[in-house]
Amino acid sequence: MSILVGSQTQAVVQGITGNEGRFHTKQMLDYGTKIVAGVTPGKGGQSVEGVPVFDTVSEAVSASGADASIVFVPPRFAADAVMEAAEAGVGLVVCLTEGIPAHDMIVARRYVDLLGVRLIGPNTPGVISPGRCKLGVMAGYIHREGPVGIVSRSGTLTYEVVHQLSAVGIGQSTCVGIGGDQIIGLSFPEILALFEDDGETEGIILIGEIGGSAEEEAAALIAERIAKPVVAFIAGQTAPPGRRMGHAGAIITGSAGTAGAKIAALREAGAAVADSPARIGALMAERLSA
């Protein structure tokens, strides 16, 4: 069944005529994703990889019936692109753009929430349901269909964990990169709830990092309503307080957002927390066989 995207998902690519949009449109099409339209203002009437290009998302949705959008738009215009997609009536927007001003994303996040549209990202590798649909930039060939859902703030660690799982014969139901910025769309608790309700997901891997309170909020939900086994890892355990480590959201303030606090909360909630990223796949294999 998977979550968020599947074999029936029909997507529009915003920024399809740019270098990244064009390249990844081909990759997604080659994977089997249904890319039914593209959007670049002023480029309507063209085509990319056989995909028709429109001037607006509204035109693209009306002509194609797209129900999802993936955004490859420069930071200056990306928040507007997200809101345009939401206004056009798609149910899911995946925004890969990095470096969007936080103020812009506050406005965009409020807008998509008001319209009831699900947003993944920004600053995300995207979402993939192996063998069914890829809306993102991840290497599709490392994934395989299976029972483990992955939700992560780190694209690189997601790829490592997928490799570990595939190496021991465990596939994935859906992998979701929630994004590394301070203002993002769907959060850990929201994705965890979707995995809990998904009939094909038997175990969940959560990859967090220092900064913010998302992992503690996830721990509260795990304790309250997640019955499936959860394996977690928190990156940035050696980061000094007050130092930003890569992602805009990965900053510790005082005692809030530390790796130790997150690990303690997750363990108290019943999750198995790996001490090393190299142990994540093995821990999930153990939990699934228990």
The structure's pTM equals 0.93
Where along the chain do its domains lie? 10-120, 138-289
Strands 172-177 vs 203-209: parallel, antiparallel or unpaired: unpaired
Under DSSP, the state recorded for 256 is B
Per annotation, catalytic residue among 24, 103, 143, 247: 247
Cβ(70)–Cβ(14) under 8 Å?
A: yes
Q: Is 103 a catalytic residue?
A: no
What is the CATH architecture of 138-289? 3-Layer(aba) Sandwich (3.40)
Contact of 181 with 102, CB cutoff 8 Å: yes
* DSSP-assigned states of every residue in 73-96: --HHHHHHHHHHHHHHT-SEEEE-
Task: List per-residue pLDDT tens for the chain, 290 residues long.
Answer: 689 999 999 999 999 999 999 999 999 999 999 999 999 999 999 999 999 999 999 999 999 999 999 999 999 999 999 999 999 999 999 999 999 999 999 999 999 999 999 999 999 999 999 999 999 999 999 999 999 999 999 888 999 999 999 888 999 999 999 998 889 999 999 999 999 999 999 999 999 998 888 999 999 999 999 999 999 999 877 556 655 555 555 454 455 578 899 999 999 999 999 999 999 999 999 999 97
Pairing of strands 145-152, 203-209: parallel
Q: Would you state the CATH architecture of domain 10-120?
A: 3-Layer(aba) Sandwich (3.40)
> What is the predicted pLDDT for the residue at 243?
53
Tell which residue, 183, 154, 179, 178, has the closest CA to residue 280: 154
Asked whether this chain's domains 10-120 and 138-289 adopt the same fold, the reply is yes
